[in-house]
Chains A and B, each alone.
Chain A
Amino acid sequence: MADQTLPIGGALDITPQKATKQSFFEWLSEWFITVDHKKLGILYISYALVFMLVAGVEALMIRVQLAVPNNDFVSPQLYDRLFTMHGTTMVFLVGMPILFGFANYIVPLQIGARDMAYPRLNAFSFWLTAFGGLLLYYSFIGGFGLYGVGTAPDMGWFAYAPLTEKAFSPGHAPDYWAIALIISGWGTLGTAINIIATTISMRCKGMTLMRMPLFSWLMLVVSGLTLVTITPLTAAQIMLMIDRYLGGHFFDTQAGGSAVMWMHFFWIFGHPEVYVLVLPAFGIASEIIPVFSRKGIFGYAAMVAASVGIGFVSLGVWAHHMFTVGMSTPTTTFFVLSTMLVGIPTGIKIFNWLATIWGGKIVFATPMLFCLAFLFQFLIAGLTGIMLSAAPWDWQLHNSYFVVAHFHYVLVGAIVFNIFAAIYYWFPKATGKMLSETLGKWHFWLFLIGFHLTFDFMHIPGILGMPRHIYTYMPDRGWGIWNFIETIGAFVQAIAVLVFLYNVVISLMKGKEAGNDPWDAWTLEWATPSPPPAYNFATDPVVNSRRPLWDLKHPEDPDWKYE
């Protein structure tokens, strides 16, 4: 196995010297017209981080409004717009773009390719997604500026019919929502096709599918899932627009349409969507946990099988969002079973990460801290998920703050924590600078404390009967104290995010030089310079195992002996 060709160590950089200094407009146009997967990845991530701040401010306004009973910090009309835009933004303009951004940046590097399979489709997809997001936010200033906030969508991110029909939403709120998401959905579909083509056909010599790093594997599964799930949403949104403008009656209950059909359409998208967001987070954890435990991933094959398994099972669980709509008993029972089954591959993953740590030498760097917190939080999120899957208990818990706490445990406790881990882990590769570890630890601990203050206590008012989407509540219900604690936690999280932003800025300006391989890691992206040149690899890499860099660093005990 001597044909390993990795320019590790003095990673080969053959980029020609830049002749002159760029002007600002040259720099700008370079970012506008780029088809480089790395630049597009950074564009995706920056775009998503901007919207994360916007949706974060919306969340803070929601928390201030709910801090005490009978509060009137915002009007009910504005409150409805805030929670609708918060949810829609976090899912469509933060979660998916940031994860596809990481995929864009990392997948070609990890599989030893020079770019994505379709670089121009890649750029087109990004700009579609970006336009969708800007269109959605234009709704705040578009229209008549009703109640001072334009015609921003106000019917919940799930947009249940018939509230979205002309009779109940006469303005343009559902139009902005539907059209913006259809457009950004096309962008997402383009990227998904691109990632599938890239991982299937662009892997370097020696990298069989079963040697592909887990993050790339997960992105392959996610992209397949995206193709299946975005389409019903787009279809339903087009049907909604036909209802609203072309005299259709799909969801128009006053003309015999069906409200329940919208729920099926929405949730057959909406539930797999959760996995579209969480599987890349699993991928991130599967890269970071081994490196900082100094041990290869435990049960690679089982991890791949569990991921594919989760992908399939997740397509058959959507009606657990509908246990209260009066489904027949056998249907309800079926969806209880399919939902509980998700727990098995998910459990396997947690056990495998645990076994990876077991017997290792854990390095508590910031990326690892975020991943370890993820493990605990995801365990809890999974267990509250089991509680919700038991339909009779769900009849109580459904649409209560318990559910809100549960899915924020998944979306923040698992996904956002792993996104931060990924940023700390791959920032040195993308910029050549390390993020400050001291500030990173401040960020971690503040965010951890804030997260638990907010979302641990959020389960309690749910159990005490507090429903979702209410702009205020009566003092006699006993929900006030818990909501007040949650609001404090939200501000602690906000401070942590400010620390993070400061860290990014200060590290970009005067961070420590990263070098090619600051974490002593094992996958191919660490075999190129930081930041990688436009062509990624000067020579095409050839690999013999799942951890090509381990093989190079440990010629006495290479992985390919055991595969």
Chain B
Amino acid sequence: MTAPRTGPGISVEGVWKKFRRGERHDSLRDLLPSLARRFARGRGDPAALEARDFWALRDVSFEIRPGQALGIIGHNGAGKSTLLKLITRIMRPTLGRCEVRGRVGALIELAAGFHPDLTGRENVFLQGAIMGMPAVAIRSRFDQIVEFAGVADFIDTPVKRYSSGMNARLGFAIAAHLEPEVLIIDEVLSVGDMAFQERAFGRMREIAQSGIPVAVVSHQLDRISALSTHAMLLRRGEVVAIGTPGECITQYVSGELGQTDAATTVVPGLAVTTLAAEGNGPVRSGERRALTLRGRYDPEQAGSRRLAFMVRVRRMDTGQVIFTTTTHRHGLHLTRPGSFVVRFDLQFNVPEGVMSVETGIIDADTERLMGEGPWAHLEVSPGQPFKGMVQLNPELSLGPDL
């Protein structure tokens, strides 16, 4: 942390950020006494929390140097976006210090500066200027930007006539043609259709690998691991782990995600506590992994309804549900009161990637979903070589035709 601070980079040192729940001041009537108090007591201790205050970030420190790309992962509300807002100077830390050296290119709100009444061309120059690109630089890359966005035919049409996809593509194209010294990316990896997403991702990787310092936030873990050299896991504003992307993603997937709130009562008479995977670490493609769901059942409260459990497996990178089944399709029913364990032993005949294993309670007779249960993340590591969506376990033979 005491490394010489020269050249582009991001340093964050002991950063704390305090937010307040609810309205700041509901009216002028609340404001005046609080101002008076501030005058009487001075600034007050910034480290003290008042009634509705909470720490959105607690003692976060890290350093990103040229050639490093830090992936920041964590649940919603873990403080990822707040951290990026501090880095991009939109907000200021309550305590600690946040420093960015070099011209920042932020792929955050790509079309924030667009005005619907202006044409695509006008908006390119406006948005470029907002992102700190001089008009000369925009002019020299204008054709590339328009080509990348694929809106050449509509460039002199007001953007209010654009589809939302065109809007987002143009925004991304402008941002992607900045030449930043420091790059910050927040959840913009899912812009446009699949083909554009791939192109956008390729472009982003190109910039990230050009050796500039990069900070990236995304829920698409595979994208994080492809873009980053390092990763940081945040939980409720605190740094839980900092290290290689693999380590952090594994910890996030195995530890973090299964632990949803304990004992949630989904349906009257039925409480589910945990969903846990048997065994640690990633499962190899083609191998089996069992997950157990625990809970308590009280038939008196549940009434005459027959309840069943559902399991659903979703690919995290695409969001696609690749498998779903229920206990009652397998002839299993809850009958006895008290604690129960449901065991799903699944064979992951899928290519590598991160899976989200989600559970739910359904009405066995109508198959209607009564409520969502806990969910867990599972990383599938490369196993048998195959390409595509699913392993069909081929048996092949090759011989003479008799």
Chains A and B bind each other? no
Q: Which residues on B are within 8 Å of A, measured CB to CB?
A: none
